[in-house]
Amino acid sequence: MLFTATIVAYFHTCKRKMYLHHHGIRMEHTSDVVYEGKLIGESTYPERAAKNTQLELDGIKIDYYDAKTNTVHETKKSDKMEQAHLAQVRYYLYVLHRNGIEGARGIIEYPTLRQRHQLEFDPEQDIPLIEGWLSDIEQILAQEECPPVINKSICKNCSYYDYCYVTDED
């Protein structure tokens, strides 16, 4: 089963957030941090939309795909969740591979840090890795109970913070 790249990224960040998002509890629209990230992505590379294609395969939407260079571009505000960003782009490359697009690569850009990370897709390593993620994700999302709060420093800036930490004292 394929999931959105957001679900894959959340799997690498917080299983609870992934579970809530998948089950229709969406908090990103209330987050200034999420809005700031979108603004950075849109304003840093204004020409990107004209030069790249939005691609949708198997219900997975890739915002910036350069068909000439076979490259997925992803812009992020900060590298604090770098593992999740790498997983998201690796997943895009997996979806491209499943659809017969070979040799794709990914570039993650952190404009505020002036950093770029390039990724190549290695089918021998990446396919079993990603299919393992998908299996784990499927098991977590099928559970009746939401995973517990993780209580990490990243929680303070999470759009789900109020949902996870506001308690009813009655």
Torsion of CA 74, 30, 144, 57, to 10 degrees: -30
What's the pLDDT tens digit per position in 14-54? 999 999 999 998 876 555 554 555 555 555 655 656 667 78
Domains along the sequence of the chain with CATH: 5-145 (3.90.320.10)
Inter-residue contact 35 to 42 (CB < 8 Å): no
What's the pLDDT at 77?
79
Question: What mean pLDDT comes out for the span 87-113?
Answer: 94
Other residues' Cβ atoms within 10 Å of the Cβ of residue 112: 14
Question: Which pTM does this prediction carry?
Answer: 0.86
pLDDT-derived band at 170 (thresholds 50, 70, 90) equals very low
